Amino acid sequence: MFRRKGFGATTTRDIAAATGMQSGSPFYHFKSKGALLYAVMEEGMRSALLRQAHALDADVQADAMAEPGARPSHDESRTARVRFAALVRTHFDILLGKGSDFIPVMLYEWRSLNARQRAGIAQLQREYDAQWLPVLDALAAAGSLRGDVHLARLFILGALNWSVQWYDANKRASLDDLTHAALALFLQA
């Protein structure tokens, strides 16, 4: 409802009707409509953090299995590329895949949060972004990424995030296609 109608135009009656509750029932679970908005964003970010960490762990384990007896960091450049690909693909899933409704809500309803809520979401975003830095540092050390790592992270995430504005799943590009294009754009050969 927040994504479709916006926070201001969504009433608690709308929320209750959409979930099959009585009109006052949402307040049994949440103190206010603002608390519900925060819960949507917080749950989305916590899920994104878990999905991202799981993708990083899975790709490192797969990389280790591809080279029996070798440690995942054996070829740091290859491992960094594998991890970067996992981050990009997972980020596209978070932005554009199933369960991504919280993303536009975060983008467009940020101002509807109170200061404490904004601080809580900002902390989760910092944790999410922090998982990118070691991978980008490794890519820079291997010569696969040029420029300042912190600025590169901002440019990369900014470009990926903008896909919520233009991506259409019914057109010719899949999320895998987007991932391959992003890798070609951001990484040196």
CA dist., res. 104 & res. 176, Å (int): 21
Burial of residue 119 (CB within 10 Å: 0-12, 13-18, 19+) is: exposed
CA dist., res. 96 & res. 169, Å (int): 8
Name the 3-class secondary structure at 114. Answer: coil
**Amino acid of residue 30:** F
Helix (H) or strand (E) holding 19: helix 12-19
Q: Which domains, and CATH codes, for the chain?
A: 1-30 (1.10.10.60), 34-186 (1.10.357.10)
- Taking only the tens place, the pLDDT of each residue in 103-139 is 888 888 889 999 999 999 999 999 999 999 999 999 9
Q: What share of the chain is helix, strand, coil (3-state, %, to 5)?
A: 70, 0, 30
CA dist., res. 64 & res. 82, Å (int): 11
- Taking only the tens place, the pLDDT of each residue in 59-108 is 655 554 444 444 444 466 788 999 999 999 999 999 998 888 888 888 88
